[in-house]
Structure 1
């Protein structure tokens, strides 16, 4: 606009506030149906609603209907500073359904049978648990171990190397620039935090690069640190693994017996000052395609053992150290077929790299499943994952692998799936494998094309809470965000699918009211994937939360879904209101 000799420019900055939309029509309809008069809902009426709509086995909520009403009414009194009737209004009923604390999507208690052998469970497993960052140059520390244990991880991996003077033990990623941490610091951290999140056993896997005198020192450190917490089997080889229930608050050691280890004096892999900088990975018990240990592997592997024997070095032996080992790791000599042999009189642990499992799944899928019915199979990331990324875990679980070892210090969709799987069974770190993976009569074929067993119907009503967790300008500088939700299934290949809602423009409390149906051939291993994003055309969309949930654990009915950040930590307020129905 021109006024006289001056040009006047008007800049409009959009002001925005978070508005609270009305409850969804399904919520209003349910309230009207069960309240009787459509004005107030009593505890008895709430109980009837839960019985009819939340599956009937929702014992916690059914028995706590009175407490739920009291809690919501108390909150309302605090906010309004007035005394109201001991019943719920429509707004109160909506608040209850939208509460992640009072109305979560899965149960928070251990509810599966915990009296089967350890091989019958998927176990929350970490890889290189001591690393703070990447696999090549990050620091080693007890802090990532503590964080993993607090999350519920039950298998901690420690790589043991002699220090530069060869009189003590360091934990570090060998032949890299990762800085060491003293073994004792790691053991103390495990003792203090092992059972903070779960009472079920913690398994420490040692990747051992030690001489016999240092193995004896490890044995002394372990026994003195853990004392009666340590589980040591009476016999050299267990015929069957103990149960999680019998091993509550116990710590187990798993590694290769020392008779298979060798003196490695001629191998320069112990000095932190002279370490070569190239990435090597796991596994005293790791298998490679030629039947020997993988090339470029650590100094306890078979290629180095053969070299040492040719030079006349004698194998090391530490009987005290050997007695510590509850789960023996064994290295096959004759290829994968031999590695997967099931022995009647003993159990063992075998490790495969992720790419080795893929090839095993292609050629020996049912042999892998049969092996895992009794024995432990551990899968670990391939050596090129130097940024501590992770692989897709579903193929491992479909073949019965119990220890799917992940870099817990990273983040990304694969790790979200791992977190999702172990939200099951009260987040105790042990999830019972499906019956079809433990059948003695017929070995499950992971390649089989299976028809749908059931379908999951998911309705996404609305979302809220971002205005409390984020700055107003986090998503868009001058307007409210434009949210949409992606929802789908991760599981067997036939079940994998992702769908998305429409974009809701300019709203901190988006209302979608969209429904999706997912046929499921293997619902026992399916994970529900949920992601929320802010649409930013033409720029990259902005992440706004995610959650993965085990489908087998979903409670039917209208539920509040808490959202997590990229690292898997739950936001304080951001959440979705959804409904689940199996048809």
Structure 2
């Protein structure tokens, strides 16, 4: 492959000019004197050109890694020269390495297969492998078979299906917020492609905001803003077309319903006609489920989430929480006790103390095919704070409680007794978390704390690919992005097991040590013409869930970095060898993030990243594939031999230590929220204008939000190190 790439003219030999171009393609810059020396050493016939065999020698020479060569030499220290010269002897040495260092028991057949795959078909010559043992060892370690995450977990296969047989609420489910939007929450376009992109990224819960449209056809858009509108039938048709292309596991359609009853009937008719009633999971009259079905049992099924009619009017649900949300993290101010509220059927409903109990009407036709009902969030949260789960509203296994992002971030719900109450609730029913309305720029919150207490549907803005979304994608990379990941054992404790844990949550604390050894095929930053050759360095950090067995802990990100290697993206070797140490109080939800950056003049540009849960990591010398800033793998497939990545050494040691517990009232996120939310007040007032919202008013709203964002950034700058440039991919 590389020979054909280098020998562009096909004359079966390489000139110095062709070698220079090949090195440029490798993202490698070598001083002229060093290259001259390397060329002369491999040019056996001294004709100033390289044939295929001479080219192989040059490539192997360029691939040298002093650290790994030292390690591979140490494997044969205890063997005789005669033993080391036989293939069986080398296999035995590698078996010992994988057992003692990598903590894997591999038989000779499996190990031979791994080496064959790593070296390609040329490994059929076992003598060649013995002659290039150091090169073989490097190839074996810098290969997806040696990935930091067990490779079988990265694919959706029959073996992974064994983990998909538990009830639906025992899984984290990849979820999107306002899926239809392509940009911000005020003026961006609503597009059908946004649904396609989310589904192709493995999303298994898409949101559809439904409003009355012309000619009896409901529309989808962010109500009372200048976002464009989509026809509801077009959205459903697009969802049907792409629903099961990337995953055959159930797809949840989260309906935020603001329509009148006649248009809700039209929605029900569209859903049945387009999706097919046989493909929609719903409960027939009198049918009761004591336990939710598993994802496998619901393969290729659509689950409609929304308001349902219960047996009595008092139990009729309302599922318009996101449009009614408060910007204040506490309670509604007194002067807002009387305000105009938009009636779901259109028009204005005077909302005063006298009609607080008035509920919107729900179409029976739509209710009949709705499987996931709603639960009143205020009552659920109160039962957690009071520590009385018996006082919580009755919830069916398929019911879902929707909560704003800041509810579970409050420290008082992360204290051990209340955190346990939340976890027990999330075992029985579904919980959905959604962004605050103040995130008009479609920014995202960090999902880890919400997974930490067991929330299944942590909805993010998929159009904003920044750190929170990368963390989300990292979790759901497991299973080939099928969209379902089983909760860790500590989030599935029975009441009896939870009681036995006493004052502990049963979390697994570990000490994680990360040594970044070398890079592999690191490319130039995407769309950056100014950077000719990469100067890479690596940042390592852990993003914490905020939980420990003793209560909420310090979530400050500890960012550590390697030295910079100049002019080498092909095989840079980092010299800092003592390793980066992190104390992870919740290894099942804490996330390791490795970011590759390149220095360029006075700034730094991010190239790619790797992210994974600490509990998913394997010990020893491991390869981590890099993902571009857009969340996609930097290679066509994981088994591509030129897949960009890093070689790292990981050590994971169980410990009784815990991160420092913090006051529940002094978290940085709380400081930022208290400063920013008042500045966002203007947005709520403008949006309450409703149908009379004009472009001018929207501009005022955007200006108010810009001021708030500047305030937020100023405060964050005071509590966090400055950010560096990142280039999207």
Q: TM-score, normalised by structure 1?
A: 0.80
What does the per-residue CA deviation read over 1:506-560, in whole Å, with 9 as the maximum and x for residues that have no partner? Answer: 43332114322323221111211101112346x3321121121111111223222
Q: Distance in 2 between matches of 1:333 and 1:468?
A: 50
Report if the CA contact (8 A) 2:186-2:440 is conserved: yes
**Equivalent in 88, 93, 105 of residue 137 of structure 2:** 93
Question: What is the match of residue 184 of structure 1?
Answer: 233
Q: Distance in 2 between matches of 1:122 and 1:470?
A: 32
Corresponding position: 1:282 with 2:327: no
**Equivalent in 226, 249, 252 of residue 203 of structure 1:** 252
How far does residue 322 in structure 1 lie from its aligned partner after superposition?
Answer: 0.9
**Equivalent in 489, 501, 504 of residue 542 of structure 2:** 489
CA shift in 2, pair 1:38/1:183, >3 Å: farther
Question: What is the match of residue 562 of structure 2?
Answer: 501
How far does residue 255 in structure 1 lie from its aligned partner after superposition?
Answer: 0.7
CA shift in 2, pair 1:387/1:116, >3 Å: same
CA shift in 2, pair 1:95/1:233, >3 Å: same
Unaligned 5+ residue runs, structure 1?
A: 1-14, 263-279
Q: Distance in 2 between matches of 1:261 and 1:145?
A: 36
**Equivalent in 400, 407, 413 of residue 361 of structure 1:** 413
**Equivalent in 512, 519, 523 of residue 463 of structure 1:** 519
The 5-angstrom pairing of residues 304-343 of structure 1 reads 307=351, 316-331=361-376, 336-337=381-382, 341-342=391-392
Question: Secondary structure in 2 aligned to 1:373?
Answer: helix
Report if the CA contact (8 A) 2:95-2:105 is conserved: no
**Equivalent in 52, 55, 66 of residue 103 of structure 2:** 55
CA shift in 2, pair 1:327/1:52, >3 Å: same
Q: Distance in 2 between matches of 1:547 and 1:243?
A: 30
Report if the CA contact (8 A) 1:351-1:377 is conserved: yes
**Equivalent in 5, 29, 32 of residue 71 of structure 2:** 29
My pick for the range that moved more, 47-56 or 429-438, is: 47-56
How far does residue 41 in structure 1 lie from its aligned partner after superposition?
Answer: 5.3
The size of the alignment, in residue pairs, is 541
CA shift in 2, pair 1:547/1:243, >3 Å: same
The 5-angstrom pairing of residues 266-277 of structure 1 reads none
CA shift in 2, pair 1:299/1:54, >3 Å: farther
Question: Secondary structure in 2 aligned to 1:458?
Answer: strand
Report if the CA contact (8 A) 1:174-1:298 is conserved: no
How far does residue 18 in structure 1 lie from its aligned partner after superposition?
Answer: 4.0
Corresponding position: 1:435 with 2:489: yes
What does the per-residue CA deviation read over 1:408-435, in whole Å, with 9 as the maximum and x for residues that have no partner? Answer: 1112111111112222344322222222
**Equivalent in 532, 548, 573 of residue 511 of structure 1:** 573
Q: Distance in 1 between matches of 2:563 and 2:364?
A: 65
From the two aligned structures, give the one with the greater helix fraction: 2
The 5-angstrom pairing of residues 174-573 of structure 1 reads 174-227=223-276, 228-234=278-284, 235=286, 238-257=289-308, 282=322, 290=331, 299-300=343-344, 307=351, 316-331=361-376, 336-337=381-382, 341-342=391-392, 346-347=396-397, 348-359=399-410, 361=413, 365-439=419-493, 440-441=495-496, 442=498, 453-467=509-523, 474-475=530-531, 480-493=533-546, 494=553, 496-508=557-569, 509-513=571-575, 514=577, 515-536=579-600, 539-572=602-635, 573=643
What does the per-residue CA deviation read over 1:243-274, in whole Å, with 9 as the maximum and x for residues that have no partner? Answer: 22221222211111257999xxxxxxxxxxxx
**Equivalent in 144, 155, 178 of residue 194 of structure 2:** 144
Q: Distance in 1 between matches of 2:528 and 2:308?
A: 58
Q: Distance in 2 between matches of 1:345 and 1:259?
A: 12
Report if the CA contact (8 A) 2:98-2:105 is conserved: no
Report if the CA contact (8 A) 2:167-2:291 is conserved: yes
Report if the CA contact (8 A) 1:421-1:550 is conserved: yes
Question: What is the match of residue 53 of structure 2?
Answer: none
Q: Distance in 1 between matches of 2:141 and 2:474?
A: 22
Report if the CA contact (8 A) 1:353-1:380 is conserved: yes
The 5-angstrom pairing of residues 157-168 of structure 1 reads 157-165=207-215, 167-168=216-217
Question: Secondary structure in 1 aligned to 2:406?
Answer: helix
Unaligned 5+ residue runs, structure 2?
A: 1-23, 31-61, 314-319, 547-552, 636-642, 654-729
Q: TM-score, normalised by structure 2?
A: 0.65
My pick for the range that moved more, 300-309 or 519-528, is: 300-309
How far does residue 332 in structure 1 lie from its aligned partner after superposition?
Answer: 5.0
Q: Distance in 1 between matches of 2:500 and 2:236?
A: 39
How far does residue 113 in structure 1 lie from its aligned partner after superposition?
Answer: 2.9
Question: Secondary structure in 2 aligned to 1:337?
Answer: helix
Q: Distance in 2 between matches of 1:444 and 1:372?
A: 19
